[in-house]
Amino acid sequence: MIFNEKKTDSRSRARTGTLINDHGIIETPVFMPVGTVGAVKTFSPEELEYFNSQIILGNTYHLFLRPGIEIIHKAGGLHEFISWKKPILTDSGGFQVFSLAKLNKISDEGVDFQSHIDGSKHMLSPETSMKIQRNLGADIIMAFDECPPGNADSKKIKNAVERTSKWMSRCFKWLKDNPPLYGYEQTIFPILQGGVDHVLRKQSIQELLPYSKCGIAIGGLAVGEEKQAMMETIEFCTELLPTSQPRYLMGVGKPTDIINAVRMGVDMFDCVMPTRNGRNGHIFTSKGVINIRNQKYKEDFSQLDSNSSHKWGRQFSKAYVRHLFNINEVLGIRISSTLNLAFYQDLMITMRNEINNSTFDQWARKILQEMKHMKGM
């Protein structure tokens, strides 16, 4: 995989670039829709392409439990199994083991856990995570890391940094001894830890950079810490990371946070927010987030979002989509999730254009000021 920086904003660290791999070229900054179990909920691959989605996510933990790596391997890898021809990134499963699994027990060897589905017992280690991800066959695979919660004390955070570094070494060794299975390259991204402690973040960067060949992730944020501390930590990390590689900010997804992180030099983003919020009736519009279930929309026959790039924003009224949610009609979820994904991908396209046109800083200041007065942004 090759990363080429294209254009850098003169007043910030914002930049555009291209990430070239065997399944295509990714224009950055990029937002990656989350297809945890092999599907971005309710969307077909063709629809995702229509929204200008360049790369999607899958998750090691969930796909390991269902349908299992044997089935995906027999299908020829995740690309073939889900009929997605563009790039895929898979998370290592570490975050899910710590947040979803029951009775997890962490040791230097790995994590013993019980499935959140049926209570079955499993062990996930750096080696097993890499084995699963080799079988999934994603273009970008994530190192197995320990992600402590936002309220963890300094000792736990320090232990997580040290363990993550040791696990990275084991991931790297296993991949070296076990080549890709499907005839194309897989690139591993290390995951930085350290909470909002800058000393520990610097330690994590120093220990993990030797393993970073074409990309590194900023992990362990958006897990309950204060917003200002999170943004200061992102900026601290991007200042120390090499410009020759893409920076991936994991799990941070509010529009204002994405814009500010792009200003700081982040290139890649993922979040469940567009689809999860859509399933709950929260729709991202050009005027802020609306909760379509609210009573005030019962007789509101105005368009959902007259400024949306997707025709459904102009085609359907608020009253109609509220009705769909009230009767549990899946079309309501489809409409809200569609408009949310369109909103996010349009935001990324706009930022790439503004950076390339040398107008990003002025645009960012203006839009961030406007979003201050918008709900949910």
Confidence of residue 368 (pLDDT cuts 50, 70, 90): very high
User: What is the b/e burial string over 27-41, where b = at least 16 CB atoms within 10 angstroms of the residue's CB?
Assistant: bbbbbbbbbbbbebb
Q: Where are the domains of the chain?
A: 2-271, 278-371
Question: C-alpha dihedral over 181, 187, 193, 199, to 10 degrees?
Answer: 140
Give 139 or 112, the one with higher predicted confidence.
Answer: 139
**Could you tell me the pLDDT band of residue 18, with boundaries at 50, 70 and 90?**
very high
* Model pLDDT for residues 277-324, shown as the tens digit of each residue: 999 999 999 999 999 999 999 999 999 999 999 999 999 999 999 999
The pLDDT mean for the chain works out to: 96
pLDDT of residue 103: 66
How far are the Cα atoms of 14, 89, 97, 239 from residue 28, in angstroms, in the given order? 10, 15, 30, 18
Residue numbers annotated as active site: 91, 270
- Would you say residue 113 has pLDDT above 90? no
pLDDT of residue 265: 98
Residue 136: per-residue pLDDT? 98
* Residue 201 clears pLDDT 80, i.e. is over it: yes
Model pLDDT, residue 101: 65
353: Cα separation from own chain's centroid:
21
The rounded distance, in Å, linking the Cα atoms of 219 and 252 is 10
pTM tops 0.95, yes or no:
yes
Q: pLDDT over 90 for what percent of the chain?
A: 93
DSSP conformation letters of 281-327 = TEEEETTEEEETTSGGGTT--SBS-TT-SSTHHHHSBHHHHHHHHHT
Confidence bin at 354 (pLDDT 50/70/90): very high
Distance CA 65, CA 166 (A): 25
Q: What is the pLDDT of residue 10?
A: 96
Q: For the domain 2-271, what is the CATH code?
A: 3.20.20.105
